[in-house]
Amino acid sequence: MKVSFLDLKAEFERLRGEILPALERVCQNASFILGEEVEAFEREFADFCGTKHCVALASGTAALHLGLLALGVQPDDEVITTPNTFLATAEAISYCGADPIFVDIDPATGNLDPKLIERAITPRTRAILPVHLYGRPAHMDAIHEIAARHDIRILEDAAQAHGARYRGRRVGGLAAAAAFSFYPTKNMAAYGEGGALTTNDDQIAKYARAARSHGQTARYEHEFVGFNYRMHGFQGAVLRIKLRHLYEWTARRQEIAREYRRLLAGARLEMPLDDPRDECVYHQFVIYVSNRNAVVSQLAAREIETVVHYPKPVYLQPAYSSLGCPPRTFPQVERACERVLSLPMRPDLTAEQVAYVANAVREIVGSK
């Protein structure tokens, strides 16, 4: 049995009847940039997140960038974040001319360890940027306590966590603002690049709306030098359709995760912890194994595709060699990067495929 990691072509075939008429509507209205579909999506996604505003953007990276600028991040500031993330989290900090300051992770969840944040704060610290990694909410209460003590603001990187709940509240509204990505592999994905900034703060929303469109506050009135970070009309149309399916897709991801956990209990591996007060939306289902290369190749031999999220902490990427963080700087993230493996996780996996993957993993790693 072949189990591919993703199957976006099959997803399109299931949605074809809804997607193509929506794309045609965009063409007929020639609403290629922003326009009515994007505006409707902004209202619907803000309602979904329980926030006052949603500003639709060109990508998750653009959302992080504008979110940080809206919080006042400037050259030579410092922003505290996790090294256990996709590079874009740190890049957005660099785009502002600020320095990413990494803090090690909580090995139980893979997210930023709040116990280590306070000692990383300096007079230059302007913001904290936690990532809800793999769709699992970061430790927000503890991060808020620290931020309040030091008068620092928080931007959520919710790129992987559409619809996740922390203590009953959806991510997106848990801090000053939140950045979402709709990259085609995400839980709710565009047919191209896309992102959004959600916030309850009128000033942040106003800034992001102007900044995404060359700093314009009215036609050809440019209050500041902005960006071309607007969402395309096609993406707004696709995302409105996908948002309607997100509830059932998330429920199915969570069901698959429960089944993986049940079938993998007692196997010689570790899995991240879920806090029962929160709701992880399982963008990825990861396991930690000691002999990853062998596990990957033996799974591949059984036609099971896996991916590593992520093989290196951000500070060990050549892009960030200038930070001068040598290997072993943050032992927990390095241990995670050496051992982590993402199993296939998508709403259309069948029960047979889930059992096939889990049984193959069990067989390969053995029992504890």
Q: Which residues bind ligand PLP (CB under 6 A)?
A: 59-61, 85-86, 88-89, 131, 157, 159-160, 181, 183, 195
Q: Which one, 88 or 281, has the nearer CB to ligand PLP?
A: 88
Closest separation between CB of residue 88 and ligand PLP, Å? 4
Q: Which one, 166 or 183, has the nearer CB to ligand PLP?
A: 183
CA distances from 167 to 54, 139, 353 (A): 22, 10, 32
Cα(127)–Cα(179) distance, rounded to whole angstroms? Answer: 14
Q: Which one, 217 or 228, has the nearer CB to ligand PLP?
A: 228
Q: Which one, 268 or 312, has the nearer CB to ligand PLP?
A: 312
Closest separation between CB of residue 160 and ligand PLP, Å? 5
Q: Which one, 60 or 163, has the nearer CB to ligand PLP?
A: 60
Closest separation between CB of residue 365 and ligand PLP, Å? 27
Closest separation between CB of residue 81 and ligand PLP, Å? 10
Closest separation between CB of residue 152 and ligand PLP, Å? 20
Residue of minimal Cβ distance to ligand PLP:
60
CB-based burial label for 14 (10 Å; 0-12, 13-18, 19+):
exposed
- B/e letters for 150-185, b = 16+ CB within 10 Å, e = fewer, are eebbbbbbbbbbbbbbbeeebbbbbbbbbbbbbbee
Q: Are 308 and 343 in contact (CB under 8 A)?
A: no
Nearest to 231 by CA among 185, 199, 187, 197: 197
Q: Tell me the three state secondary structure of residue 59.
A: coil
CB atoms within 10 A of CB 24: 11
Cα(187)–Cα(206) distance, rounded to whole angstroms? Answer: 27
Q: Which one, 61 or 306, has the nearer CB to ligand PLP?
A: 61
End-to-end CA distance of the chain: 27
Closest separation between CB of residue 221 and ligand PLP, Å? 28
